[in-house]
Amino acid sequence: MLFCIFLLTLSPANLITDMTDLRFKLFFCSLFVSINFLFAQTTWYNPLSCDTPYVNGRAWNVEIGKSFSRIPDRFQSIMPASVWGLSKNSAGLSVRFSTTARSLTIKYTLATDGSVYRNMAPLNHSGIDLYATDADGNQYWIGNILKYRFGKLPSDTITFEFPEINIPCFENRGLEYELFLPPYNTVTSLSIGVPPNSDFRFYHQSAERPIVVYGTSIVQGASPSRPGLMWTNILKRKMDYPIINLGFSGSALMEPSIFDALSEINARAFIIDPIPNCYGMGDEIISRAVAGVKRIRQKSDAPILLTESGCSVDSVLNPNVFKEYRAGDAKLYQAYLQLKSVGVKNLFYMSFHDIGLNTDAMIDGIHPNDIGNALYAKAYEKKLKEMLPEDVAYKRYPPVRQRRDGVYEWLPRHNEVIRLNHTTDPEILMIGNSITHFWGGKPYSNNYGGDAWNKFFGKRRVTNMGFGWDRIENVFWRIFHGELEGCHPKHICLLIGVNNINHNESEEDVSDGIVALAKLIRERQPLAKLHVIKIYPAKNREEIIKRTNDLIAQKLVCDDYTDLVDLTSFLTLHDGSGKIDESLFREGLHPNEKGYAQIAKGLKKYLK
C-alpha cells in the first residue's frame, strides 16, 4: 500500500503525461494491494501445533514431539554419531490433511541447503511432494508447474504453490492430501496455507501396525527426482500401509543399538536392507545379522525380510565392484541359512535377482533413479504379499479407503475402532455402513437409535464398526488394515452391500463380495460366531435387494460358527408385498428409533 501511495504522489511532470499513464498506475496499485490482501488472508496450519504431532511415518511420534526427526533423544547416547545425525532428516515422513480449498501454499525452512549431494536433484533432497486422494479413494499426484522457490540461504523460507486444484467427485468433501517431506534435509518449520473459510483438518497416521524398513541411502531416498518417487513412498502409496523409514545414508552397519530400536516397534513386518553399506565386512555380516534378527525375535513374531544389495548392475565393464557386492550378499545368505537352521520362524529372503535392477535403473552404479526406485517398490510389494498372504486382495473389490460422508471423518474413526478393539476386548463387533454407524454406541457419532442401542446391548462391550457410505471394498480395506486385531469377540455381525447396490453393481458381484468378506472375517477371527445379516430392504429397491439376498443364501457356507440372519420381516409390511414399513425408516433407507428397536428384536436370539 505504501508503495502505491508513493507512486501516486510523485511529480506529475515526471511520471504522468496523460490519463492513460494514470489509469495504468492505478491499475498496478490496485493489483498490488489485492495480491497482498489475499496473501495476508491465507489461513496457516502447523502440523506440530498439538501434543501429538501430525507427522506420519515414525514409530515414536509422541515421544519425539515437536520436530521432524525420526528417532527419540534417548537413543543419542547409544546410536552411532552418523546415524544420529541422519535421523534428523525427514526421510519417509509425511503430513496428511484434508481440505475443501482449491489452492494450497506450503512454506517451510530447512537446516541446510543440501548442495553437498551432487548425486541428487534439489527437488528430492530438499523439496516436497504432494499427493491427493478423492472421496472414493482414487489417488493422484499434483504437479505445481514450476511454482516453487528455494531460498539462497539455508534459513530462507521455501515456498511451493498449488494454485488451481480440481476436485473430481464429492466436491463438498474436498480432497485428502499427503505431503511427503525432504528425505535428505532437516525440516525446521512447516506450514500449510489455504484460503479463508476453507475446511481444513490434519490426520494422524493409521493406528495399524507399520512396515519397518532399515537400510542405506537407497532406503533414505537416493536418488529419485522427487520425494514421492522414493521406493518406500511408492510402496506406501501402493499398499496403503504405514511405513517407518529408518534409512541412514552410508551408515547401515547393523549395530546392536539399531536392532534394540527396531525391536521396540510393534510392526506388521521388518525389512532389513543394509548390504549396500556393509558388503565389505566379511563374516561380521553374518554375526551382526544373526544377532539382530534374534534381538527382534525376542519381542516380535512379525515377518522379517533379509535383502541382498541391488547395487552394481554394470557387471561386464565393472566386474570387480559387482563381485564385491555379491560377496556381501553371500554372507547375508549364510546368516539367513544359519537363522533358519536354529528354528527362527517367519523369516524371508530377497535376492539381487529378485530386485531386478538394470543399467537404465541407476544414476551412478550405486543409487537407483526413478526407474530403479519403481523396480525396488515392485519387488518389495511382491515379496510382502508373499510374507503377508492373508492380505491377498479380492479382485472384484480391491481394498480402498473413502471419505464420502460429511458427518464424520473416516480415517480418524478407523483409528478409534482399532484403539477400542485393543483396549476394551469387545464381546460384539458390529461391522457395516451408515445403517450400523447411526444406530449408536462407540465410537461416538451422530445416532438415530441410541435408546434402542442402549436398551438392547446394555453394559455389553460392543464396538460399532459401521462407517457411513461404506461399500464392500471399504470393509476389505478396514480388515486388511487392522480393525479385527487385538480382540477376541464372541460375536461379529456383518451388514454391508446396500451402497454397492445403490452404485448399480450387479447382484452377482455384490453377493460374491459379501461371501468373500465373510470368509476373510472367519480367517481373522476363527473362534467368533459370525452372523452375516441379509441386506435390509430399502424403499424402491426391495426387489433387487431380495434377489441379492437370495444369492447370498445360495453361496454362503453356514456351520457352527457362521449363520445367515434374515431380518426382512421385521422391517416390511405384513401384507405380503415385500415393501418396507415406512414408519420404521427416516427416509426409506436408514431406520429410525422405532426401526432400530425392531432390528434389536430380531437380533436378540443370535447375540446370546
Q: Compute and round to an integer the Cα radius of gyration of the chain.
A: 28
Asked which of 7-21, 46-60, 179-193, 466-480 is least confident by mean pLDDT, the reply is 7-21
Please provide the distance, in angstroms rounded to a whole number, between the alpha carbons at the two ends of the chain: 74
Give the tens place of pLDDT for each residue, 483-537.
Answer: 999 999 999 999 999 999 999 999 999 999 999 999 999 999 999 999 999 999 9
**Superfamily of domain 410-603 in the CATH hierarchy:** SGNH hydrolase (3.40.50.1110)
At the topology level, CATH places domain 42-205 in: Jelly Rolls (2.60.120)
> Are 259 and 292 a contacting pair, CB within 8 Å?
yes
The pLDDT of residue 312 is 87
Mind listing the pLDDT tens digit for each residue in 331-340? 999 999 999 9
Residue 589, CA atoms < 13 Å, CB-side half-sphere: 14
Going by C-alpha positions, the residue among 187, 161, 175, 160 that lies closest to residue 55 is: 187
User: Mind listing the pLDDT tens digit for each residue in 195-210?
Assistant: 999 999 999 999 999 9
For residue 388, CA distances in Å to 81, 213, 273 come to 35, 16, 18
Collect all residues with Cβ–Cβ distance below 8 Å to 553 and sequence separation of at least 6: 534, 564
Q: Say if residue 15's pLDDT is above 80.
A: no
How much of the chain, in percent, has pLDDT values that exceed 90? 88
Query: Which grid cell is 510?
Result: 455384490
**CB neighbour list of residue 481: distance below 8 Å, 6 or more residues apart:** 206, 208, 240, 241, 399, 414
Q: What are the grid coordinates assigned to 276, written together? A: 549396500
DSSP secondary structure of 122-151: HHHHS--EEEEE-TTS-EEE---TT-EE--
DSSP output for 531-584: EEEPPPP-TT-HHHHHHHHHHHHHH---BTTEEEE--GGGTB-TTSS--B-GGG
**What CATH architecture is 231-390?**
3-Layer(aba) Sandwich (3.40)
**429 burial level (CB within 10 Å; 0-12, 13-18, 19+):** buried
For residue 292, what is its C-alpha cell? 539382530
Give the start-to-end residue ranges of the domains of the chain: 2-40, 42-205, 231-390, 410-603
With 50 as the cut, is the pLDDT of residue 14 above it? no
Separation of alpha carbons 348 and 344, rounded Å: 10
Q: Which residue intervals of 41-128 are DSSP H helices?
A: 61-64, 81-86, 122-125
> Confidence class of residue 402 from pLDDT cuts 50, 70 and 90?
very high
282-to-335, 350, 563 alpha-carbon distances in Å: 12, 19, 59
pLDDT higher than 80, residue 30: no
Residues 308, 581: Cα–Cα separation, whole Å: 64
pLDDT in tens, 106-155: 999 999 987 778 889 999 999 999 999 999 999 999 998 899 999 888 78
Using 50, 70 and 90 to split pLDDT, how confident is the model at 18? very low
The predicted model scores a pTM of 0.91
* Side-by-side strand order, sheet with 304-307: 243-247, 211-215, 269-273, 304-307, 347-350
Same CATH fold, 410-603 and 231-390?
yes
Quote the pLDDT of residue 40: 56
- How far is 463 from 405, CA to CA, in rounded Å? 20
Residue 38 has pLDDT above 90, yes or no: no
